[in-house]
Amino acid sequence: MNKKTCVIVSGGTFSKIPEAFERVIQDADFVIACDYGFENAEKLNLKTSLLIGDFDSMDFSSASKKASEKKISIKKLPCEKDDTDTMFAARICVEQGFEKVFILCAFGGRLDHSFANLQTMVFLKKNGIPVTAFGDGTVCTVLSNESRIFPKNGQSYFSVFSAGEPCKNVSISGSKYDVDAVSLTNDYPIGISNEWVSPEVSITAGEGFVFVMEN
């Protein structure tokens, strides 16, 4: 199998796929639904390849029956475990060598699970896998030692936050609040609510990791 792109569907608030990403997600090589994420995947008309979870948010018997009818592989996880269901899916992506990951329905609902999904994104990025997550009106990307262009695409605001430890040499151009080679720390949200003043914004992150959140 050509393991280029994997989609993980989490159990956060149901959110549609942003139009700019719809084609690449619909054409993904593999789709992992995490527990209630199976319901979200069904609503998004995605063809689930693997269903995993401890099934604390949906009934296992009904989920396994539906998965069996659709010939979807299923893996039941213990309720008492270190990994969230989404984190377990992320480990599969690393083990299987996927080159890119999208996490859908990643935010909304329980704040602690949204935060856990953000940490899962950093785990994937540390393992060399570019990752973008969607949910509750937000598109989130992790950057580290790289530059990337972010088209406006109809969004109103974007924010840039340190993802844990301080991130050095952060630069932003094409925005209302441009900066050049600054350090962002995780105890001061100075990167909140920036705006596009040009069709594209360029964001560079040096050593460390930053979240770029488009709203």
Model pLDDT, residue 60: 83
Q: Which CATH class is domain 146-214?
A: mainly beta
Name 69's bridge partners. none
Q: Measure CA 60 to chain center.
A: 25
Residue 111 has phi, psi (to 5 degrees) of -65, -35
CA separation for the pair 84, 97 (Å, rounded): 20
CA separation for the pair 96, 63 (Å, rounded): 25
Name 196's bridge partners. 175
Model pLDDT, residue 199: 95
Enumerate the domain spans of the chain.
5-136, 146-214
DSSP count for the chain of H helices, then E strands: 5, 13
Q: Are 208 and 168 in contact (CB under 8 A)?
A: yes
Model pLDDT, residue 29: 95
| C-beta atoms surrounding 95 within 10 Å | 9
pLDDT in tens, 43-54: 999 999 999 998
pLDDT in tens, 149-185: 999 988 889 999 999 889 999 999 999 999 999 999 9
Model pLDDT, residue 164: 86
If the chain, 215 residues long, is cut into consecutive pieces of 10 residues, what is the mean pLDDT of each piece? Answer: 84 92 94 95 95 87 86 90 94 96 95 96 97 95 97 91 94 97 95 96 97 96
Architecture of domain 5-136: 3-Layer(aba) Sandwich (3.40)
Dihedral angle sign, alpha carbons of residues 36, 160, 150, 92: negative
Please state the pTM of the whole predicted model. Answer: 0.94
Name 104's bridge partners. 9
CA separation for the pair 111, 183 (Å, rounded): 27
